[in-house]
Each structure stands twice: as C-alpha cells, then as structure tokens.
C-alpha cells in the first residue's frame, strides 16, 4: 500500500494511465482486426486500405510506449506481405 504522498500520487496516476493505455491498445487491435478480416475476405483493395489506416495507428502506439518498435514493424511487415499475396 502507498504510504508517502508521492507514492499515493503515483498510484492515482497509474490508474489513469492504465485506462488510457488499455483504450489505445484496444484501438490498435481493432485496426489490426479490420486488416485481418479484409485479408480473410480476399478483397485486396479493402485490405490495402485497412492496412493504410492501421499503419499510423500502430506507429502512434509505438510513440506512446504501448507497443515496442520492433513488434510494430514485424506486424506491419507480415500484414503487408499477406495483403500483397492476395491474388
């Protein structure tokens, strides 16, 4: 349990930051899911549009510290390859 005033403040801030980070992570996952669904449907145009929309969202997660840079790059690379492979 937090005892000092500073640790109590940090505990309050942590609760706030956790909710913000959770919302951001959820938003990123939603964008990635839309790309996955477009790939599954086989619509290349729709998939590439979803990928274009997901890319800045994922990189915003990197800048905010939600996702590691290499993780985001790996996800983008694999999704781009899958979109490109659609006949």
Provide the whole-model pTM: 0.85
Overall average pLDDT of the 20-49 stretch: 96
Overall average pLDDT of the 50-54 stretch: 96
CATH superfamily of 5-84: Ribosomal protein S20 (1.20.58.110)
Can you give the residue ranges of every domain in the chain? Answer: 5-84
| DSSP-derived secondary structure letter, 1 | -
Overall average pLDDT of the 24-52 stretch: 96
Whether the CB-CB separation of 39 and 82 falls below 8 Å is answered with: yes
How far are the Cα atoms of 38, 75, 85 from residue 29, in angstroms, in the given order? Answer: 14, 11, 22
| DSSP-derived secondary structure letter, 25 | H
Residues 10, 12: Cα–Cα separation, whole Å:
5
């Amino acid at each position: 349990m937090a005892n000092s005033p500073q640790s109590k403040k940090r505990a309050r801030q942590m609760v706030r930051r956790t909710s913000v980070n959770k919302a951001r992570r959820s938003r990123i996952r939603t964008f990635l899911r839309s790309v996955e669904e477009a790939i599954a449907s086989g619509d290349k145009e729709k998939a590439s549009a979803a990928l274009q929309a997901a890319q800045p969202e994922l990189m915003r997660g990197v800048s905010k510290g939600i996702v590691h840079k290499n993780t985001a790059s790996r996800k983008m690379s694999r999704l781009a390859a899958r979109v490109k492979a659609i006949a």
